[in-house]
Structure 1
Amino acid sequence: MRHPFTSSPRSAAGRAIAGLLLCAAATGAAAQSLTTAPPANVLVLSAEASTEVVQDLLTITLQVVREGSDAGAVQSQLRQVLDAALTEARKAQRPGQVEVRTGAFSLYPRAAPKGVGIAGWQGQAELVLEGRDLPAISALAGRLPGMSVARVGFGLSREARERVATEVSASAIARFQQRAASYAQQFGFGGWSVREVNISGGDVAPSGPMPMFRAARAMAAAPADESQPVEAGRATVSVTVSGSIQMSAR
């Protein structure tokens, strides 16, 4: 007969395991509380820099429109005009300065009166001129046979965008560092270090009204054999540096 105050080996082992589990849980909770404790003397801040630059990339889209009763004839007319314009434009091609490519080519039916049947066919073909040599592109657009201006746009070339973005990023980083040092001193700390940082931006935004509409109106009024007047606008490139710093005594 077992004494009422005598524990079995199984129950003693169970209590030992429970004690170990409680100790492990307490240790884990303490470690978690240490890792999740909010850091002290941390400051979140951001700085931004931007600059305006003249857009150096011109894009002129030319088009030819034809219509007729036969879809094949309309398509053939479009190709003839486009091929002639391409032959002339390729003579002026220079990598990066004057680039030539074809754009959209479409052909669609025109509905007859009251929507019964097809009255004919209408189509259009596009030729795109793009590059950094604005005078050469505008002159080329004015002398291509059978083509008229559909759209004009300005932008920044890849080379200019990368160069400006690098310069603006350096200015934004310098402003971030200046603010970090100033804020740390104002809070009574002698030093600081970067905890995390993020650099965003480098996008190009037009500054003021888009000049393409003024240019398009001027080009539409100019004779077909003259250089088409264009006026480049300005663009703003902005970069933001944001993050957090650890302020310290030294």
Structure 2
Amino acid sequence: MGLASRLMVLAAGLIGLGASPVSAQPMPVVPTGAKVTLQQTAGRDLDQDRISAQLRVENEAVSPAEVQDAINRGMARALEKARAVASVDAETAGYSLYRDTERGVWRGSQELVLDSADAPAVLDLVGALQAEGFVSSQIGYYLSREARERVTDELIVEALAGANGRLEVMSGAVDSKGFAIEAIDLSPQAEIYPRMRAARAEAMTADAYAPPVAEAGTTRVEVSLTVTARLFP
């Protein structure tokens, strides 16, 4: 038998095998339901629990050495006053020195930052320093990181409960047998910075001063979850 004849016989045999009455077994199929992704947010308004005040001492003179000396002496007195109050944190900030060519003098300034949970102590210090010639740049309340972190965990639980409730409603609406959560993503939380408010200072003299007036507000803290779930058919 030639090669062509043998190939014809082999092809006929394969066709015969394909036509044999062998029953095909179905592959098992795992039932899957609809995939659902939703966002859930929980938030709370918290009372601002800390106060921050920024002041500066300024001076001008013919020589830069005179300006620097006056600023250094003024800041040293201010730091001594501030550090005598244990509940208040004090630190120096930006220092500048430049020549005012139009007036032919040197001018300089340095900042002092006061921060505390004890608002009356800070405001009293601000008033005392203003009476000594310090100028207030900003005074305002803000929410501390510790307060924000304490409430964040509670808000996560609240948001998860809200997402779970919504999934139950959706599951019932489509006659699903239930659902399974596949993924939960927590959106990064933005840093909360002080919300400075203008403070009012009363008229002062060298012998008497009145602390500025400032009111605490609230800060909104929120968490946002992205929840992915699978509804059972």
TM-score, scaled to structure 1: 0.73
CA distance in 2, matches of 1:235, 1:183: 33
User: Is 1:44 equivalent to 2:25 in the alignment?
Assistant: no
Match of 1:110 in 2: 100
Equivalent residue, structure 1, for 2:215:
231
CA–CA distance in structure 1, aligned partners of residues 227 and 153 of structure 2: 19
Offset at residue 197 of structure 1 (A): 1.1
Alpha-carbon distance in 1 for matches of 2:204, 2:128: 9
Q: Is the 8 A contact 1:204 1:237 kept in 2?
A: no
What residue number does 1:136 align with?
121
Give structure 1 stretches of 5+ with no counterpart.
7-38, 114-118
SS of the residue corresponding to residue 161 of structure 1 reads helix
- After superposition, the C-alpha distances for 1:134-155 in whole angstroms (9 at most, x for unaligned) are 1111111111333221111221
Tell me, what secondary structure is at the counterpart of 2:167? helix
Deviation at 1:211, TM superposition (A): 6.2
Q: Determine if contact 1:49/1:169 at 8 Å carries over to the other structure.
A: yes
Q: 1:197 aligns with which of 155, 179, 184?
A: 184
AA at the equivalent of 1:81: G
The letter of the residue matching 1:187 is: V
Q: 1:102, 1:126 within 8 Å by CA — same for their partners in 2?
A: yes
Provide, for residues 176-217 of structure 1, a one-character-per-residue CA deviation record: whole Å limited to 9, x for no partner: 1111121122122121111111112544779xxx6612x2xx
| Alignment partner, residue 161 of structure 2 | 174
| Contact kept in structure 2, 1:172 and 1:239, CA below 8 Å | yes
CA separation in 2, counterparts of 1:153 and 1:73?
A: 33
TM-score after normalising by structure 2: 0.78
Out of 73, 89, 93, the residue aligned to residue 99 of structure 1 is: 89
CA distance in 2, matches of 1:163, 1:212: 25
**In angstroms, what is the RMSD of aligned CA positions?**
2.3
Bigger radius of gyration among the two = 2
Kept after mapping to 1: 8 A contact 2:156/2:223? yes
SS at match of 1:174: helix
> In the alignment, what sits opposite 2:11?
none
Q: Which residue of 2 aligns with 1:127?
A: 112
Q: 1:173 to 1:201 in 2, by over 3 A?
A: farther
The residue matched to 2:187 in structure 1 has which SS?
strand
Distance (Å, rounded) in 2 between the aligned partners of 1:190 and 1:230:
57
Greater percentage in helix: 1
Aligned residue pairs: how many?
199
Secondary structure (helix, strand or coil) at the match of 1:188 reads: coil
Aligned residue in 1 for 2:21: none
In structure 2, the gaps of 5 or more residues are 5-31
Separation (CA, whole Å) in 2 of partners of 1:72 and 1:66: 11
Q: 1:42 to 1:188 in 2, by over 3 A?
A: same
Q: Is contact 1:110-1:122 (8 Å) kept?
A: yes
Shift of residue 167, structure 1, vs aligned partner: 2.1
